[in-house]
Amino acid sequence: MRRFSAFALVAALSLVGAGCTAASYAGYARSVPPPVLTQAQLNAALLRVEDLPDGYTRQPTPESPPDESDAGGQGAGSEPCGDVFDLLRGGEPALSSIAAGTAEIEFSKGDDGPFLQQGLLTSGNRAGLHAAAEAFRQLPAVCGEFTERDEQGSFAIRLSPAQFPALGDESVAVKLDATGTSEASSVALSGYLVLIRVGATVCILIHFGIPKVDVAETETVARAAVARLE
């Protein structure tokens, strides 16, 4: 199963957020900033197995994702959509130029999922964090449908806005549906990409499974993640 990366997803936002730059929120940045979390606080704020619905187990998080920068392709999709999916599978840490600290953890329920990744990033650059949230909101409009190909096969990807409760200081949810082939097998997967900002910290949740996940479970996970940050 292809590995998605929460941090790389946020890094991808810089590709799709046309017009949503930190400069666009200069006035926002001048307000009193919330405290930036320490690395110890970030680690403590990560989800635990006991926070999740029954059946999840923690999975090892690779220290560094494989370099796939030369692999894959956008197929019929237009740039930057193929890059978004490539970055979902691994890449440089999100918003590395402004990040004061990051933490990440992964869980799953089995070979077909659901799979859950959580990434936390804290930064004193409020404008940059807000711009990332706005770029995330634009994902369905910019990359609604595209095709991604690599040495394992090809996938038709569809991103669409998701109905999701407002959480934290700001939140955005995107539904991801993908069908295609991977290692000569037909695969259909579906899930949700959720960005939640609480103060100076952004939480990214990637929750998907074969063939799908329950949105109510995604919401339960998201509320647990917010509770740990508040």
What pLDDT does residue 213 have?
95
What pLDDT does residue 81 have?
62
What pLDDT does residue 31 have?
57
pLDDT in tens, the chain (230 residues): 444 444 444 444 433 443 344 444 444 445 566 889 999 999 999 999 999 999 999 998 665 444 444 334 433 344 556 555 544 444 443 455 678 898 999 999 988 889 999 989 999 988 888 877 887 888 888 778 877 776 767 778 888 999 999 999 999 999 989 888 777 778 888 999 999 999 999 998 989 988 999 999 999 999 999 999 99
What pLDDT does residue 13 have?
43
CATH architecture type of domain 6-229:
3-Layer(aba) Sandwich (3.40)
End-to-end CA distance of the chain: 33
What pLDDT does residue 112 have?
86
CA distances from 126 to 23, 25, 52, 98, 102 (A): 11, 8, 29, 10, 16
What pLDDT does residue 186 have?
86
What pLDDT does residue 127 have?
83
pTM: 0.79
Residues in the chain: 230
Kindly report the three-state secondary structure assignment for every residue of 53-118: CCCCEEECCCCCCCCCCCCCECCCCCCCHHHHHHHHCCCCCCCCCCCCEEEEEEEECCCCCCEEEE
Q: Are 199 and 226 in contact (CB under 8 A)?
A: no
What pLDDT does residue 62 have?
61
Structure tokens at 173: 């949810």
Structure tokens at 76: 């019929």
CA atoms within 13 A on the CB side of 216: 1
What pLDDT does residue 48 have?
97
Q: Where are the domains of the chain?
A: 6-229
Q: Are 109 and 24 in contact (CB under 8 A)?
A: no
